C-alpha cells in the first residue's frame, strides 16, 4: 500500500521559516505535490516535484529526494494567512491522476 | 477562468439512503477525480473519469459510482449510505500537464 508520513502540527512565529517534512513509500512514483488547505476550503496547489532538487516559488520552496523517499516544503517570511493545513501527495501512476495524500500538517502562525 | 464548482455544499442523509453529488470542471479540463476527506485526514482517491469512462479507482466499494458528461461535468453517486460515509467529498479537475484543481467540496453527514 501507500504510506505517506508528515508531522501532525507545527507552530511558528510570524516572519520566521518553517520546514514541513514528508516521507513516502509508494508502489510507484510519478511526482510529488504540496497543497495548502484552509479550514472549510478546497486544497490549493502549491508545488510539484518530479526530479530531485529544489523548486522555488516566491516564499514557498519544495525539495525532493527520490532515493530517500523524502520531500520538504519550506515556508519563508511566514504570514498569519499561512496558518493552514499542508498536504503532501504522491502521484504513483502514469495512466491516471490518483494522488495518495498524507494526513496533513497543521501550521499555526503566531504573532 | 471558471474554477471547479460543486453542489450542494452541505447535505444530511439517513443511513441506507442514496445521494448524488455534482461537480462542474474548470474550463479546459477534461479529467475529473473524486476524493473523500474524513475529518483530520488527507483526501482519499475514489475514482477518476476521462472521456466519460472510469480510468482509475481507489479502495472504495461498488456502491460508490460516478458519471462524467460530454461537457466534462461529473456526478458521484453513493448507494446504501453508511455512517462512515460522513465526510467532505472533493471533486478535482485536471488536464495533461496540469495539477489537480479542487472544488470546495460537499460536506455529507449521514445519521
Note the pLDDT of residue B10: 96
The minimal CB distance from B104 to the residues A4, A41, A96 is found for A41
Exposed, middle or buried, A102 (CB in 10 Å: 0-12/13-18/19+)? Answer: buried
- B4: chain A residues, CB-CB within 8 Å: 42
Half-sphere exposure at residue B55, Cβ-oriented, CA atoms within 13 angstroms: 14
The predicted structure's pLDDT at residue A67 = 95
For residue A105, give how far its alpha carbon lies from the nearest alpha carbon of chain B (Å).
10
User: Which pLDDT score, from 0 to 100, does residue B95 have?
Assistant: 83
Model confidence at A95: pLDDT above 80: no
Q: Residue A2 has what pLDDT?
A: 79
Instruction: List pLDDT tens digits, range B19-77.
Output: 999 999 988 888 999 999 999 899 999 999 998 999 889 999 999 999 999 988 999 99
User: What letter would DSSP give residue A9?
Assistant: E
The whole-angstrom separation of Cα B79 and Cα B89 is 15
pLDDT of A98 reads 84
For A101, name the nearest residue in chain B, comparing CA atoms only. B42
Q: B105: distance to nearest CA of chain A, Å?
A: 7
Region B2-23: mean pLDDT is 95
pLDDT of A96 over the 70 cut: no
CB contact under 8 A, A45 and B42: no
Mean pLDDT value of segment A34-50: 94
pLDDT of B1 higher than 60: no
Amino acid at each position: 500500500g501507500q504510506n505517506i508520513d508528515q508531522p501532525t502540527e507545527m507552530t511558528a512565529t510570524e516572519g520566521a521559516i518553517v520546514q514541513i517534512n514528508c516521507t513516502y513509500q509508494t508502489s510507484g512514483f510519478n511526482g510529488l505535490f504540496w497543497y495548502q488547505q484552509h479550514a472549510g476550503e478546497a486544497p490549493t496547489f502549491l508545488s510539484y516535484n518530479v526530479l530531485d532538487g529544489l523548486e522555488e516559488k516566491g516564499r514557498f520552496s519544495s525539495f525532493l529526494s527520490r532515493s530517500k523517499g523524502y520531500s520538504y516544503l519550506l515556508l519563508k517570511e511566514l504570514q498569519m494567512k499561512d496558518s493552514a493545513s499542508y498536504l503532501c501527495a504522491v502521484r504513483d501512476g502514469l495512466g491516471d491522476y490518483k494522488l495518495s495524500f498524507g494526513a496533513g500538517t497543521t501550521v499555526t502562525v503566531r504573532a | 477562468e471558471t474554477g471547479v464548482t460543486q453542489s450542494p455544499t452541505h447535505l444530511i442523509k439517513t443511513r441506507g439512503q442514496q445521494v448524488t453529488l455534482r461537480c462542474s470542471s474548470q474550463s479546459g479540463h477534461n479529467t475529473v477525480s473524486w476524493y473523500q476527506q474524513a475529518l483530520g485526514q488527507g483526501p482519499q482517491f475514489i475514482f477518476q473519469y476521462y472521456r466519460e469512462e472510469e480510468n482509475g479507482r481507489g479502495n472504495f466499494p461498488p456502491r460508490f459510482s460516478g458519471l462524467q458528461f460530454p461537457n466534462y461535468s461529473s456526478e458521484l453517486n453513493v448507494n446504501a449510505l453508511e455512517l462512515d460515509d460522513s465526510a467532505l467529498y472533493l471533486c478535482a479537475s485536471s488536464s495533461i500537464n496540469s495539477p489537480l484543481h479542487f472544488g470546495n467540496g460537499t460536506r455529507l453527514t449521514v445519521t
